[in-house]
Chains A and B, each alone.
Chain A
Amino acid sequence: MLRLITPEVAGLDAGVRARVHEDVVAHVVTQIEQMPSILALPYRLALWAFGLLPVLRYGRTFLGLTPPRQAVYLSSWSNAVIAPARDFIKLIRSCALLAYFDHPQVCEALRSARGESLSRPAAALTSGDAA
């Protein structure tokens, strides 16, 4: 799931990215473990439901889905009508993005790609921003 959430960053090779992902996973797990005990239980239930519910539609758990189907399934939760489902994904996504983009090696890769970024006008990046 975290691989779907965290985007590729230019200059980050596969091996480094895998190590970064391990750190991100460790960070997210630590955060969830430290949640207030009264919220941790429903959150774990939601995690469990998120992993198993694809069985009803695709006949496989989330981990057994192909990456495109995982992305579609993830998107269906993050845009769900039910607020707790959206909040569930939002929390994991936020924790993961923070840990990922503040990871020293990702920051280094971003700095390396800085020249390319500077060469692009800002307007080019804002044109397709509509959600």
Chain B
Amino acid sequence: MSRGKGRSVDLLETQVLVIGTGAGGATTAAALVEAGFEVLMVEEGPGVDTASIPSNSPKAITSLYRHAGLTPILGNQNIAFVEGCCVGGSTEINSGFWHRLSPETYPRWKADALLDAFTPEIMEGYFERIESDLSVSFLGRERENKSSAVLRRGAERMHWRCAEVPRCQRDPGASAFAPGAKQSMQRTYIPRALRAGARLRADCRVLRIEHENGVASGARVSMRTESRRVEGTIRADTIFVCAGAVQTPALLRRSGIRRNVGNTLCLHPMIKAAALFDEEIDAGQAALPMYQVNEFWPTLTLGGSVYSPGFLAMLLADNWEANRDLIRCYDRMGLFYAATRGMNRGRVRVVPGFEDGTIIRYRLSKADCRNLSLGLARLAELLFAAGARSVHPSLRGFPALTSVDAARGFLKQPLPASVMNLSTVHVFSSCPMGENVDFCATDSFGKVNGCSNLFVNDASLLPDSPGVNPQGITMAIASRNAEHFVERVRRGPRVLRSAASTPARKADVLVTGAPGWLGTRLVQVLADETLRRRCGIEKDVAAKTVRCLVRPSIDPAPLAGSTDTVEVCYGDLGDDQALERFCNHSEGATLFHVAGVVHPAWRTSDFQRVNVEGTRRLLEAAQAGGVRRVVVVSSNSPMGCNPHVDQLFDENSPYHPYMGYGRSKAQMERLVHETHAAGRIETVIVRPPWFYGPHQPPRQTQFFRLIRQGRFPVLGSGLQKRSMAYVDNICQGLLLAATVERANGHTYWIADERPYTIEEVVETVRDLLESRFGIPCQQRSLRLPSWVGGAARLADATLQGIGLYQQQIHVLGEMNQTIACSIEKARTELGYAPRYSLRDGMAASIQWCLENGYYI
């Protein structure tokens, strides 16, 4: 997974970037900034004060709505979709209705999405707190307007359940819905976040998220400055995408994150009808209706709709020639709706090459058409019971309904989708949260699967339709997830963030390459005695302080769980100042140099820059800082490939580097030998081959997936051998290399007990997936002739010759080779005794994938 490595201007930098300022974004930003995080909110739309613009006016539509209200949802019948595109998002344009999540939804979401820590007991507290913040309240019968009274009257005569819906409104007495009275995000959470120190940039469109190897480093944006639009990057340690159920999946997909993203959109299709009464009902004066009829919930909801002569004319436009005269009695008309829970799932897709190539698709199912027909019939029944003269449904080519019997016709013969004029304002569920990895895009708290520091926190997360306006539910979930994030970080390591934050404590152990694959496990082992024992370390090698060098763009959360032991120093191997800070106050310490580039994103120059030059800088800083011993992690690549399947490399085998990576590691080893020869620092080189185990990168998960799908390429006979190393076995080797006195100046191969044939590796994984984890696998592999490996190697060499790198070609080029080593020297001199077999290690590795939401 890699995107956006082009040349880019860094426009801004922040600890947490929140994309979107609607219900999800504003709640997230306020919670995080009040918890002490540095927060930057960005909003695509303008920063217009919505209190100055009458709600739903043409001016509001062109300035506050996305695409001026012209966003279609394509399908067997197009559905008009409106959402806000301004500071405050859709909370600035909606009716401010407030609903909690119904009790029956919790078990459904738990069962379908395997949602953790999501119960009424947990969520009610969030609802209560936000309701207080937003002044959620009722108008009460005494302030009932005429058009609402008509709806209530109809429901009472039909003996249907009808209730006032509470709204986010500061002063229930302030007219019906005075501009500024609605407690939208502009009036509540955004000013609160700004007061606490958050920054806000309006007119800032996020083009894509920049991420690599599961770590987001920033967002590519197009931002309006005082005089012009500029394009550049906002660097961030953590990113929350809160752009709504359409824009969030669109942004993730544009960024190359597609797993379960934008495939499961839910919505509430809504059909409207105008009703003509003999009495004056002043629907236009009442501005917003109060009641909803819940008799048929969750399938159907009936209610009053926003009204103005313009909105009435729009509805009548379906049959304009016949209905145009009705405009003259606009004061005796009202607009009403029937909404249903869509039974289908829609998709959000992006078309490359268009600045705004977002396509939303939803196909009305037969059940949807039946429910909408039923809704229209029930609505008309209610309106006639309330005294309507005629009901004018939003149906192309249909006459007005003048009797209840005519309305009941829709019950017998459902309307076809093609005649319905539909709209929706409720969309959600495009990136569902939960632990069901076949269905969910994020974990139970919004962390995007496969990314360590990228979160979604808006209506996209809802596993399915809640059957009501989702604002309240979105805010409660956003609040819960933000709180969980804060807790997660607080449990995490102490961070030495800036150049000024010089370490106060002396470090016993320094680690580069955490939180990477091996680095994270090493830190965990260093901090946890039980893990150390499990790895086979019986000696007490407990470290009081483990200091990790972490690249600024990487979330150090995986290092959590050992607050007192682990501290983080931000920087990288190319930054001399950061290395000086990292090695400062570490006299007598042990440095584990685990960081390195194995598979560069594109250019082979990274090998030299990181593996050679970075190591040189680190060794200099370590000597200056008084580090006692450096344990450097190398690779099998300096030795190349074995000449035949039964030969094993040992520590005396000559260098025969394999491609650019092998050359860089060979150079690195020579550099370490030179440093040792200078006599100022102790050095040990550890050579682990292909490793596996928890905290693995996406490429290793893909290895499991290919085996499951029967697409793993086995070249030739499959009897070529590979030495492999489970991470806990390597950790044992590293700790022994750090503590055994005689290891100074030596090199050791550290691997599992014995090499395995490729066939054996594939069979072991397949058997584990099926027998231990119940994951069905294809009983085959992709059998390819051996020369395919030779051809891939030739292509790899050609590419690397011109400075380019392609991971799949490189890996395929090695697949017909034997790369195996002997661990005899480590066994004899260090006392190394690997505890994990291939089967145990692979089982732990698969278990970790499943527990962390990685799709196999």
- The answer to whether A44 has its CB under 8 Å from any CB of chain B is no
- Scoring B316, B322, B328, B396 by chain A CB atoms within 10 A of each residue's CB, the highest score goes to B328
- The answer to whether B67 has its CB under 8 Å from any CB of chain A is yes
A123 touching B322 by the CB < 8 A rule? Answer: no
A93 CB contact (under 8 Å) in B277, B320, B390, B392: B320
- The answer to whether B299 has its CB under 8 Å from any CB of chain A is no
Stretch in B190-198, B214-222, B329-337 touching the partner: B329-337
- Within B32-80, which residues are at the interface with A (CB < 8 Å)? 57-58, 61-62, 67-72, 78
B313 touching A98 by the CB < 8 A rule? Answer: yes
**Number of residue pairs A-B, CB distance < 8 angstroms:** 138
- The answer to whether B311 has its CB under 8 Å from any CB of chain A is yes
B354 touching A129 by the CB < 8 A rule? Answer: no
Separation of A126 and B358 alpha carbons in the complex (Å): 42
A128 touching B322 in the complex, CB below 8 Å, given contacts A83-B418, A99-B310, A100-B313: yes
A122 touching B277 by the CB < 8 A rule? Answer: yes
Complex interface bits, B387-403 against A, C-beta within 8 A gives 1, otherwise 0: 00110100011111010
Residues of A within 8 A of B471 (CB): none
- The answer to whether A118 has its CB under 8 Å from any CB of chain B is yes
Separation of A78 and B328 alpha carbons in the complex (Å): 23
A122 touching B278 by the CB < 8 A rule? Answer: yes
- The answer to whether B772 has its CB under 8 Å from any CB of chain A is no
B70 CB contact (under 8 Å) in A34, A99, A118, A125: A34
- Scoring A32, A34, A87, A93 by chain B CB atoms within 10 A of each residue's CB, the highest score goes to A34
A120 touching B397 in the complex, CB below 8 Å, given contacts A36-B71, A102-B308, A106-B309: no
A38 CB contact (under 8 Å) in B277, B320, B351: B351
Closest chain A residue to B392, Cβ basis: A129
A102 CB contact (under 8 Å) in B57, B324, B351: B57
Tell me, rounded to whole Å, the shortest Cβ–Cβ distance linking A112 to chain B.
11
- Within A92-131, which residues are at the interface with B (CB < 8 Å)? 93-95, 97-103, 106-107, 110, 113-114, 116-118, 120-123, 125-126, 128-131
Size of the chain A interface, CB-CB below 8 angstroms: 47
- The answer to whether B811 has its CB under 8 Å from any CB of chain A is no
Tell me, rounded to whole Å, the shortest Cβ–Cβ distance linking A9 to chain B.
8
Separation of A80 and B68 alpha carbons in the complex (Å): 26
B58 touching A27 by the CB < 8 A rule? Answer: yes
Residues of A within 8 A of B326 (CB): 125
Residues of B within 8 A of A114 (CB): 331
- The answer to whether A37 has its CB under 8 Å from any CB of chain B is yes
A130 touching B322 by the CB < 8 A rule? Answer: yes
Residues of A within 8 A of B314 (CB): 94, 97-98
A130 touching B78 by the CB < 8 A rule? Answer: no
A126 touching B309 by the CB < 8 A rule? Answer: no
A99 touching B322 by the CB < 8 A rule? Answer: no
B58 touching A131 by the CB < 8 A rule? Answer: no
A sample of 15 more A-B contacts (CB under 8 A), given A125-B326, A129-B322, A129-B402, is A34-B62, A34-B68, A36-B67, A36-B71, A37-B357, A93-B317, A97-B320, A98-B310, A110-B328, A121-B278, A122-B277, A122-B389, A125-B276, A128-B322, A130-B399
Q: Report which B residues bind A (CB closer than 8 A).
A: 57-58, 61-62, 67-72, 78, 276-278, 280, 308-314, 316-332, 351, 354-359, 389-390, 392, 396-400, 402, 418
A–B Cβ pairs within 8 angstroms, 11 of them: A36-B67, A36-B70, A37-B357, A78-B320, A97-B317, A102-B310, A106-B309, A125-B276, A126-B390, A129-B322, A129-B402
Please name the 4 residue pairs, one residue from A and one from B, whose CB atoms are nearest each other, closest first: A102-B310, A129-B400, A97-B313, A34-B68
